[in-house]
Amino acid sequence: MNKHVFEKIAKLDNTELSAVDVKLSLMTQMQGGIKQLTEWSKKSVKAKATIEKAAATINAAYKDIALNKGFWQGAQKTAEKYKAQMDKLSGELGVNLKGSDLDKMLSDIYMLIEDGQGDFNDIEMAMKSIGKV
């Protein structure tokens, strides 16, 4: 600092010095606030980009599933028709089809339906959980 600044400070009375201290203190607080706001702003920008990208990916993956909500119920009804036809055929032919290839295929169908419906239910739950903290 030069001599001129020291002379100005020396001429200030206590009230003026207190005002300078308050101003400097407020400036320090505001600088801290600006630093914190800047950090949060950077986090927000990064989170926004991540969330927007994830939302686009989720929406694309969910679109086909959501458009075909009743698929598994329809598949269940079809499997029940297959079962009824198999039972009818078994009765008409007088042949027990339990354990046959046809029976195993029907079992596979039921397992796929159960797994698929379970996955769909899990997807629905996951979609409802988005945004909840």
Domain segments of the chain: what residues?
1-59, 68-133
pLDDT at 15 over 90: no
Provide the 3-class DSSP secondary structure of residue 66: helix
The dihedral built from the CA positions of residue 27, 31, 32 and 37, taken in this order, carries a sign that is positive
pLDDT at 40 over 80: yes
pLDDT at 9 over 70: no
Local confidence band at 119 (pLDDT 50, 70, 90 cut-offs) = very high
Residue/partner pairs of 93-96 with CB below 8 Å, 24 or more apart: none
Q: How many CA atoms are closer than 13 Å to the CA of 111, on its beta-carbon side?
A: 6
> Residues 61-108: pLDDT tens digits?
999 888 888 999 999 999 999 999 999 999 998 999 899 999 999 999
**Separation CA 88–CA 50 (nearest Å):** 56
Per the structure block, which two tokens stand in for 33? 């606030």
